[in-house]
Amino acid sequence: MPDSSGASWLGRGKLVLGMIHLPPLPGTPYHDGGGVEPIVERAVACARALVDGGADGCLIQTVDRVYAAGTDSDPARIAAMALITRAVVETAGPEFRIGAQLMRNAVQASLAVTQVAGGHFTRVGALVGATMTAGGLMQGDPLAVAEYRNKIGAHGIALIAEIESMHFSWFGGGRTVAEVAATAWQAGADAVSLCHRDDDITLGMIAAVRAACPGLPVILAGHTHHGNAARMLGSAEGADGAFVGTCLESGGWGGVIDKDKVAAYVDIVRSAQR
């Protein structure tokens, strides 16, 4: 197995990573035509709420309603994402861990944005294997990702590979989540992300991955909230970090992040670790 030195980006303890969900960007069919500046301002406001609430970082993620199953991304969309990510980097400060992900699986574009804008990681929808999406079969290409990561000198940008979640499930079956994790780790993942609506199933998957891949960080891909944060993230059997979205947003999914909701979530996690 690879060593776990690439996971140094985790830094300090269990990570609370807020989701900054972006409205459709320029270059996508559902963009409202209003330009990128209001989107930048909204993302910066969300980042400030996360910082002030005590979160460890964020994942800036495109929400464009419809997606290609391949790895291409419109140039205007990439440019907008770079502007947004850089604005968040400049707002949040050096200790805040920032990721960028152009959905569904524009990995090279996500790596480029994160590297150029000064971020720390990206989440990969399909690094290995394949999964079915509304836009068709989304296939991983770990060799192309590794070659591009090397080409732009982005070895310092951590790759968090989805291995079982609302965004990825190994197409065709026949592989356990631990086997998928091991394959992703071998292909260059610095961490993996997973989740299930059933907390017990999620904890079982975390245990299986840790048994198969000692030292590989496991991040919750979703389904975490104030009610289960202590168990799913604060406890010893819980994950090493979590992408936290809906429960931190005003009015539910897609809303602006609320500082008080962030602070309450962080306090639950930190208190459970004492």
pLDDT (tens digit, 9 = 90+) per residue, 117-127? 999 999 999 99
Supply the range of the domain harboring residue 240.
5-273
- Read off the pLDDT of residues 67-111 as tens digits, 9 standing for 90 and up: 988 999 999 999 999 999 999 999 999 999 999 999 999 999 999
Q: Mean pLDDT in the chain?
A: 94
Q: Which amino acid is at 152?
A: I
Domain count within the chain: 1
- Residue 192 contacts residue 181 (beta carbons within 8 Å): yes
CATH code of the domain in which 255 resides: 3.20.20.70
> Which tokens is 16 given?
């609370």
Would you call 124 helix, strand, or coil by DSSP?
strand
- Residue 269 contacts residue 229 (beta carbons within 8 Å): yes
CA-based nearest residue to 59, from 43, 40, 38: 43
What is the pTM for the complete model shown? 0.95
> Which tokens is 100 given?
């960028």
Cα–Cα dist 104/70, whole Å: 8
